Structures are given as structure tokens and as C-alpha cells.
Amino acid sequence: MEEVGGVNAPVAARILFDSAIKEVEVQRDQVAAEKEGLRKEVIALKDALMEEKKMSGIVVGQLQDAIIKSKETVSIAEVAQRLAESKEQNCQIDLTRLEAEIKSLQQSLVDAQGKATNAQADARREAADREMSLRSALEASREAAHAKTAFADSQAAKAVEEANRKTAAAELIASNFQQDAQVRAPSMPQRNGEAPSKTFKVARGSGVGAGGLGAALNAKGIPMFGGPLFSPWEARSHQQLAQEEAEVARKQLNKAQ
């Protein structure tokens, strides 16, 4: 038998065979290990696939629900959009109407302002005319009042002067009658203690006492009473009446002033 490297062939072959078998066994173990690993991986992959499928089903369900909700949301959004478009159209109509009303109100305001301006101008003119009329009436009233006052003053002064003249005349007549009555009293008849009833005629120029009554009255600028007969008591009555007239005239003069 041939020797190989100092070893005979059968032994070498046996060694090679054993070596080959060991290598095969090692490879088989490796393959088995790899197969087991692959089997575990396949199982894991199957489990993962099932889990993924399960999760995918859940996700698909969620997606389907989301799609349904999205469709509902889209439908609601479409309805809302249609409502918004309808509201927009209504708002546009209202806006157009309001713009027309605003223009009308602005025109009315302009017209009202013009009328107010004209009315103010008319009112100012009327007020000026009324003021002028009132001033004229006031001036006329003042002039009339001044004229009436002047006339009343003149009349009152004349009345006072006339009353003073009458008072002076009555006092003078009464004084002369009293003096004459004192002179004639003893010769005048009396009845039951009555005062003398004899009257005396007073005529212009026929004086009683020194100088004459007519001359005394003419000297004072007092006209004589021509013709009537006066008793001393009638003279006193005329004197009192003249004094009352003089007092009334003085009061009228004071009131007029």
C-alpha cells in the first residue's frame, strides 16, 4: 500500500473520511441551527405579519371611520358653504339696500340742512323785522307816553293853578264875608239862635271893605263871580270844594310825575 506523508492510504482515507464526516456533521449542525433560526424567524415573521395584519385591520377600520367622518364633515362643510353663500347673497342684497338708504338719507340730510339754513335765514330776517317793529313800537310808545305825561303834567298844572285860584278866591270871599258879617251881625235878625241868613250880592267892582272885593280879586288875577248871591256859609262851602279840587289836582300831578 502506498504511503502518503508517511501514513498508509487506508488510514489516510479513514482520516479524510472521518474529517469529511465531521465537517459534514458540523455543516449539518450549522444548517440545522440556521434552519431553526430561519424557522424561528419565519414564526416571528408570521406572528409579526399577523400582528401587522391585525393592526392593519384596525388602522383600516380607523381609516374607514375617518373617511366616513371626513365625508360627513365634507357634507357638513358643503352645507355650511351653501348656507354661507346664501347668507353672503342676502348680505349683499342688504348691503345694496343699506347703501341706497344711506344715499337717500344723505340726500335728505343735505335737503334738511338747506331747509334749515333757509329757515334760519328767514328766522333771522323775521327776528330782525320783529325787533325793528318792536323798537319802532317801543319808540312810538315812549313818545306817546312822554306826550301823555307832558299833557298830563300840563293839565295837572293847569288844574292845580285853577284850584289855587279858586281856593284863593274862596278864601278871600269867605274872609270878606266874615268881616262884613261881623260888622253887620248886630243889625241882622236871628231866629232861635240861627246864624244870619241874609245873602249879599257880589258884583265886579263893588267891593266890601276897604278897596273893594273886586279890586282885591283883580289884583290877584282871579276873575270875579258875576251875579250870584253868596252867604258866608256858601262861601265856606266853595272854599272847601276848591281846597278838595286843589288836593286832587296835586295828587294827579304827583302820580303823573
Q: Give the model's pLDDT for residue 106.
A: 92
Q: Report the relative pairing of strands 229-230 and 3-4 from DSSP bridges.
A: unpaired
Q: Give the model's pLDDT for residue 53.
A: 84
pLDDT tens sequence across 157-212: 787 787 777 777 777 776 776 676 666 555 444 444 444 444 444 433 333 443 44
Sorted by where each begins, the domain ranges of the chain are 148-180+202-256
Q: Give the model's pLDDT for residue 151.
A: 79
Calpha distance 91→118 (Å, rounded)? 39
Q: How far is CA 58 from the centre of its chain?
A: 77
Q: Which residues contact 167 (CB under 8 A, 6 or more apart)?
A: 239, 242, 243, 246
Q: Is 12 exposed, middle or buried (0-12, 13-18, 19+ CB in 10 A)?
A: middle
Cell numbers of 73, please? 364633515
Q: Give the model's pLDDT for residue 97.
A: 92
SS3 200: strand
pLDDT tens sequence across 233-243: 555 566 677 67
Cell numbers of 28, please? 449539518
Q: Give the model's pLDDT for residue 156.
A: 72
What pTM value is reported for the model?
Answer: 0.30
Q: Give the model's pLDDT for residue 18.
A: 86
Q: Which residues of the chain, if any, have pLDDT below 70?
A: 1-7, 174, 177-178, 180-239, 242, 252-253, 255-257
Measured CA angle at 164 (ends 145, 254), to 5 deg: 30
